[in-house]
């Protein structure tokens, strides 16, 4: 398969930053309330400190009605009530515990449509966690998959503004405590398979109390691990559980986040899993329907000292524009966000210190995360939704806080600078941030952010980068032979000096969340992309020349 | 036969031996003094005393006390009876009553042996530390070699806010019992008390001096109040920018907190004052490494090693820094030296992991795999120990 690097004579490292607008960084505006986003997450928090209470808060941006605008979906937790016999009932039937879907009206406002769309989650007594998006039945409408403690729900988009619960018919239920999930095409057969992370072997009945003079949420070390689940799409609207056959189920972790990319450039989508307090996972796709877990061998399992940390959110993207996808995993304060540079055949190098993330993240606890070009300068910046896992952490460590503002760190040639202080009021507002979904909500050429906040309103942050001088290009992939939205496609662009940026088409990553399937590039001051290459999972390589900046470009996969 | 009262619990082991002495006292109850008959001290009374002694020995304290009290009504001036009643009350944990009986015994017969020690001990338990010290001083004067009394007198001084007087007493007892944990603890407390006394004097005489702020800062640090400590160190350094201890402490606190930017700045300042300090070079190198500045960290880590006998941690850190900058051969040498010197399994585990990283960089997958296997084996061991 020809690669863009080869087409361009292997010139892959020239930075774009020199051509970008100076030191200005975009400001994000929080527009949730004027926009009509009234959702408030409910964890059902009790004095019993059930661990599920502090782990939820997923969000998705999804164009469910195909009007070209991203809508918002929020996953609610649920009420928790102790029954007379000591068991605990999960309450979802009351409106305050509903999931919420907001249709984007295109004028900066949203309309709440969860009930008419049939996505409230009221029918099942599951405790809500996160969401994944993808058109699993290839009917042209994006479907929803919702994870919970208790089971999962596949919501088939009927194409008329409503969804139907297709979980049982499709064989898509995953038992236990599922967290992040993602649609992807691991076998390159043109339909979307589903990877579902599972967190812990946990139940209300375990009743483990933690804390000495006061109760705290127990560390996951107190509970058993759980294996993840891989569901292969049979192509007829049903799934088959291939966890065992594929090797995915052979290792148990404490998974919270999942992201996809092709780390070894063999054309097959690999899977990276963020595990809490156990080794991280990297499942290398062997291309024959099976996976090999390679995190230890490639240097991804631990931090640079071989230490375990609390992996929560994850992104799998080329942060240093060297053409190879890197990995970023968020974790708890004092553990330092883990950044791994992909060095090709010699594996990954832990670069947290060298990238200045050690300094930035020492006291931060991160969940939802994205490496994306928020200022359109050609380098992927870092956005993290934050907040400690323990709601009483201040009583344990006075140097830490439970509620934290989000983090925005600018990527300056591979090193990060914390620019949160000048990125808008939202970055000084404390919140128990959890899930985070990213996409261009107002189609203005920059990446906006939606943060799920535990027991509070979400943050809907509009980026104004496109008002600056930097240019951009957004690409919508229309697959013909490959999986919907070109899931698994690798899109690369080169500027006039040969500098290359690479994107992998996926809605997965972050924490409990699903993002915009469209591909976004910041171009700095360049107004033309000299060469654009799409490597479709079907094997087709499509090359475009002289693509104009500042527009949404739709690329349809060739038939042959 | 049942005991009617639990024996009074005691915590200081020296005292257990002290109680043994008290029991011996009880058994050697002297015969009634001449003339007791005239005073109403009849053979029946003597029999009653013997019965009371037997009851006390068998733990029937109420019965014993009643016996002694009955005889005392006939012979209220017999000091030994008051002593025996005091012993019963002491055993019962009725310390107030015990004190009264012991005091009465001494009032009647000031030279009655070993009573002052008991009286002093019980006064101490009641928190009447000054009176306890007074009695124990006299007791110690009577029996200067008695280590139990010395220990209790030391404790009385300590509690009375005179730690300086306690120190020689604790040291004297410690010579005979060098591994006594309680004594070591109280001796430490006494020295701390003395130190605090000098600090109080410092604060009284020069309250706004650099040294006074340094002392306050150290107290905060000792008690885990790092924020307050840092504020005081800063004031101390305003008063005297060359206060070496303050610079070093600032650097250590910042490094411990993971605030390596501030730590590096503080180490730099501290090193200007003490350029030869291996510990400072080590700390500075560590902070620079955390800041992603391996090239700058390396010379400091080398200096840390130059000034000291080989230290595993410094070799490991230097190896890590050299690995960062791609000096693989030097990194390998240092990591191997660290492995040879390091006794701690957790630290060994980290070094194996770094060596695996190193060999992966060299594309030597066999060596990398061997170190990963060693790493995993140690990790399992450490995790198993954690689980226990």
CATH number for the domain harbouring residue B103? 1.25.40.10
DSSP label of A339: E
CA distances (Å), B102 to each of A82, A186, A443, A502, B114, in order?
61, 89, 93, 91, 10
Residue B169 lies in a domain: no
B344 touches chain A (CB under 8 A): no
Cβ contacts of residue B121 below 8 Å, gap of 6+? B15, B18, B132, B136, B152
CB A504 within 8 A of CB A184: no
Per cent of chain B over pLDDT 70 is 89
- Report ipTM for this prediction: 0.89
CB within 8 A of B332, min separation 6: which ones?
Answer: B319, B355, B358
Cα–Cα distance, A434 to A366 (Å, whole number)? 8
Q: Total domain count for chain B? A: 1
Are the C-beta atoms of A314 and A300 separated by less than 8 Å? no
Nearest by CB to A359, which of B291, B352, B360? B291
pLDDT above 60: residue B151: yes
Can you read off the two tokens belonging to residue B193? 């008390």
Contacts of A296 in chain B (CB under 8 A): 372, 376
Question: Domain for residue B276, yes or no?
Answer: no
B111 — pLDDT class (breaks 50, 70, 90): confident
Task: Return d(Cα A68, Cα A444) in angstroms, integer.
Answer: 12
Task: List, as ranges, residues 353-372 from B with C-beta within 8 Å of A.
Answer: 353-354, 357, 360-361, 363, 368-369, 372
Residue B57 structure tokens? 């020995």
Partner-chain residue, chosen from A296, A349, A353, that has the shortest CB–CB distance to B289 = A353
The segments of chain A whose pLDDT lies below 50 read 1-19
Q: What is the C-alpha separation between A554 and A118, in angstroms, rounded?
A: 30
Q: What pLDDT does residue A99 have?
A: 98
Q: What is the dihedral of CA A80, A83, A89, A91, to 10 degrees?
A: -60
pLDDT at residue A22, as a whole number: 53
Nearest C-alpha neighbor of A185 from the set A230, A217, A238:
A230
* B377 confidence band (pLDDT: 50, 70, 90): very high
For residue B222, tell me if it sits in a domain: no
Give B60 to chain A, closest Cα distance, Å: 41
Tell me: the pLDDT tens digits for A342-357?
999 999 999 999 999 9
Question: Does the pLDDT of residue B238 top 50, yes or no?
Answer: yes
DSSP A458: P
B213 inside domain: no
Q: How many angstroms separate the CA atoms of A271 and A556, rounded? A: 26
**Which residues of chain B are within 8 Å of residue A358 when distances are taken between CB atoms?**
258, 260, 290-292
Q: Which residues have CB under 8 Å from A416's CB, separation 6+?
A: A355, A356, A357, A360, A381, A382, A409, A410
What digits encode the pLDDT tens for the residues A218-230? 999 999 999 999 9
Q: Which residues of B touch A355 (CB under 8 A)?
A: 292
* Residues in B touching A345 (Cβ below 8 Å): 363
**Cα dist. A304→A206, A271, A309, B33 in Å?**
34, 21, 11, 85
Is position B35 within any domain?
yes
Distance from CA of B251 to the nearest CA of A (A): 16
* Closest by Cα among A252, A150, A279, A153 to A197: A252
Runs of H (alpha helix) within A349-455:
357-361, 393-396
Q: Which residue of B has its CA nearest to A221?
A: B387
CB contact under 8 A, A306 and B349: yes
Residue B303 lies in a domain: no
Q: How much of chain A is helix, strand and coil, in % rounded to 5?
A: 10, 40, 50
Structure tokens belonging to residue A85: 């016999």
> Which residues form the domain of B46?
13-126
In a domain, B80, yes or no: yes
Among the listed residues A513, A517, A506, A491, the one whose alpha carbon sits nearest the alpha carbon of residue A260: A506
Average pLDDT value for residue range B17-30: 40
Contact B372 A299 (CB under 8 A): no
Task: Kindly report the backbone phi and psi dihedral angles of residue A409, in degrees, each rounded to the nearest multiple of 5, phi listed first.
Answer: -125, 125
Q: Is A471 helix (H, G, I), strand (E, B) or coil?
A: strand
**What's the pLDDT score for residue A27?**
82
Closest CA to B259 of A30, A280, A359: A359
| A306/B259 CB distance under 8 A | no
E strands, A360-518, where? Answer: 366-372, 381-386, 407-412, 415-418, 433-439, 448-453, 459-463, 471-478, 490-494, 500-504
Whether B221 contacts chain A with CB within 8 A: no
In a domain, B109, yes or no: yes
Q: Which residues lie closer than 8 Å to B147 by C-beta, 6 or more apart?
A: B14, B172, B173, B176, B177
Whole-number pLDDT of residue A297: 95
CA angle B272, B277, B278 (to 5 degrees): 130
Nearest chain B Cα distance for residue A395, angstroms? 14
> H/E element holding B163?
helix B163-176
Residue spans of alpha helices (H) in B223-364? 226-239, 244-257, 260-273, 278-290, 294-306, 312-324, 328-341, 345-361
Give the C-alpha separation, B45 to B72, whole Å.
9
- Give the per-residue pLDDT at B159: 93
Question: How crowded is residue A323: how many other Cβ atoms within 10 Å of its Cβ?
Answer: 20
Q: What is the pLDDT of residue A24?
A: 64
Residues of A in contact with B379 (CB under 8 A): 306
Distance between CA atoms of residues B286 and B291, nearest Å: 9
Provide the shortest C-alpha distance from residue A508 to chain B (in Å): 29
Asked if residues B105 and B25 have their Cβ atoms less than 8 Å apart, the reply is no
Question: Token pair for residue A104?
Answer: 């984007």
pLDDT at B346: 93
> What pLDDT shows up at residue A4?
39
Q: Distance from B15 to chain A by nearest Cα, in Å?
A: 33
In this prediction, residue A20 carries a pLDDT of 54
């Amino acid at each position: 398969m020809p690669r863009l690097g080869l087409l361009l004579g292997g010139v892959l490292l020239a930075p774009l930053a020199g051509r970008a607008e100076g030191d200005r960084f975009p400001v994000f505006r929080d527009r949730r309330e004027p926009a009509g986003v009234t959702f408030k997450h409910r964890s059902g928090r009790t004095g019993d400190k059930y661990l599920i209470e502090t782990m939820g808060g997923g969000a998705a941006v999804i164009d469910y009605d195909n009007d070209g605008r991203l809508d918002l979906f929020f996953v609610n937790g649920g009420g928790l009530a102790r029954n007379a016999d000591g068991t605990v009932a999960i309450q979802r039937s009351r409106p305050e515990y509903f999931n919420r879907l907001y249709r984007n009206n295109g004028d900066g406002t949203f309309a709440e449509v969860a009930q008419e769309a049939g996505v409230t989650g009221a029918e099942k007594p599951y405790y809500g966690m996160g969401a994944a998006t993808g058109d699993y039945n290839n009917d042209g409408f994006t479907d929803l998959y919702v994870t919970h403690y208790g089971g999962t729900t596949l919501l088939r988009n009927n194409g008329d503004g409503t969804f139907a619960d297709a979980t049982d018919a499709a064989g898509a239920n995953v038992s236990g405590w599922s967290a992040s999930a993602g649609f992807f095409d691991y076998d390159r057969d043109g339909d979307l398979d589903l990877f579902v992370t599972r967190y812990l072997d946990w139940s209300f009945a375990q009743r483990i109390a933690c804390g000495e003079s006061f109760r705290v949420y127990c560390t996951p070390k107190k509970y058993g691990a759980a294996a993840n689940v891989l569901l292969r799409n049979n192509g007829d609207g049903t799934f088959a559980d291939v966890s065992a056959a594929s090797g995915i189920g052979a290792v148990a972790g404490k998974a919270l986040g999942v992201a996809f990319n092709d780390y070894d450039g063999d054309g097959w989508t690999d899977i990276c899993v963020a595990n809490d307090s156990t080794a991280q996972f990297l499942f290398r796709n062997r291309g024959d329907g099976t996976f090999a877990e390679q995190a230890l061998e490639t240097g991804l399992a631990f931090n640079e000292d071989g230490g375990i940390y609390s992996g929560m959110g994850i992104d799998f993207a080329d942060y240093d524009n060297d053409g190879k996808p890197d990995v970023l995993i968020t974790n708890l304060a004092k553990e330092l966000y883990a950044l791994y540079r992909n060095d090709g055949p010699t594996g990954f190098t832990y670069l947290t210190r060298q990238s200045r993330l050690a300094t930035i993240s020492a006291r931060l606890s991160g969940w939802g995360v994205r490496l994306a070009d928020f200022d359109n300068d050609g380098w992927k910046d870092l956005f993290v939704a934050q907040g400690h896992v323990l709601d009483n952490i201040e009583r344990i460590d006075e140097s830490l806080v439970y509620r934290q503002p989000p983090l925005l760190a600018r990527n300056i040639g591979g090193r990060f600078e914390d620019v949160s202080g000048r990125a808008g009021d939202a970055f000084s507002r404390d919140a128990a941030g959890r899930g985070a979904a990213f996409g261009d909500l107002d189609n203005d050429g920059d990446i906006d952010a939606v943060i799920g906040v535990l027991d509070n309103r979400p943050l809907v942050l509009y980026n104004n980068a496109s008002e600056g001088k930097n240019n951009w290009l957004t690409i919508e992939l229309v697959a013909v032979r490959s999986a919907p939205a070109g899931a698994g496609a690798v899109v690369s662009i080169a500027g006039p000096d040969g500098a290359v940026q690479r994107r992998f088409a996926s809605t997965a990553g972050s924490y409990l969340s699903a993002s915009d399937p469209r591909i976004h590039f910041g171009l700095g001051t360049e107004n033309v992309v000299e060469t654009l290459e799409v490597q479709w999972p079907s094997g087709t390589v499509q090359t475009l020349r002289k693509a104009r900046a500042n527009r949404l470009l739709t690329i349809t996969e060739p038939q042959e | 036969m049942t005991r009617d009262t639990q024996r009074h619990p005691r915590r200081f082991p020296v005292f257990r031996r002290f109680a043994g002495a008290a029991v011996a006292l009880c058994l050697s109850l002297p015969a009634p003094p001449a003339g007791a008959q005239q005073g109403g001290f009849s053979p029946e009374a003597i029999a009653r005393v013997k019965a009371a002694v037997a009851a006390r020995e068998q733990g029937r304290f109420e019965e014993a006390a009643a016996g002694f009290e009955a005889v005392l009504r006939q012979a209220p001036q017999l000091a030994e009876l008051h002593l025996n009643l005091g012993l019963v009350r002491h055993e019962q944990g009725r310390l107030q009553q015990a004190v009264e009986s012991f005091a009465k015994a001494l009032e009647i017969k000031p030279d009655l042996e070993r009573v002052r020690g008991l009286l002093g001990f019980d006064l101490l338990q009641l928190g009447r530390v000054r009176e306890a010290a007074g009695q124990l001083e006299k007791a110690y004067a009577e029996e200067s070699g008695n280590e139990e009394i010395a220990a209790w007198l030391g404790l009385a001084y300590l509690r009375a806010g005179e730690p300086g007087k306690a120190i020689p007493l604790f040291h004297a007892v410690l010579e005979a019992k060098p591994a006594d944990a309680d004594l070591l603890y109280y001796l430490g407390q006494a020295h701390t008390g003395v130190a605090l006394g000098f600090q109080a004097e410092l604060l009284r005489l020069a309250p706004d001096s650099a040294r006074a702020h340094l002392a306050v800062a150290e107290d905060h640090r000792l008690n885990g109040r790092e924020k307050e400590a840092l504020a005081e160190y800063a004031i101390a350094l305003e008063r005297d920018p060359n206060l070496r201890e303050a610079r070093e402490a600032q650097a250590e606190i910042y490094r411990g907190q993971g605030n390596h930017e501030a730590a590096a700045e503080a180490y730099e300042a501290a090193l200007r004052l003490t350029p030869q300090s291996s510990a400072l070079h080590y700390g500075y190198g560590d902070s620079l490494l955390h800041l992603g500045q391996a090239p700058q960290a390396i010379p400091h880590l080398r200096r840390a090693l130059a000034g000291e006998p080989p230290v595993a941690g410094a070799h490991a850190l230097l190896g890590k820094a050299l690995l960062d900058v791609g000096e693989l051969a030097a990194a390998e040498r240092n990591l191997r030296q660290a492995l040879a010197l390091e006794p701690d399994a957790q630290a060994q585990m980290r070094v194996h992991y770094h060596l695996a990283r190193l060999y992966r960089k060299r594309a030597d997958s066999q060596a990398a795999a061997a170190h990963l296997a060693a790493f995993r084996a140690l990790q399992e061991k450490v995790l198993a120990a954690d689980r226990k």
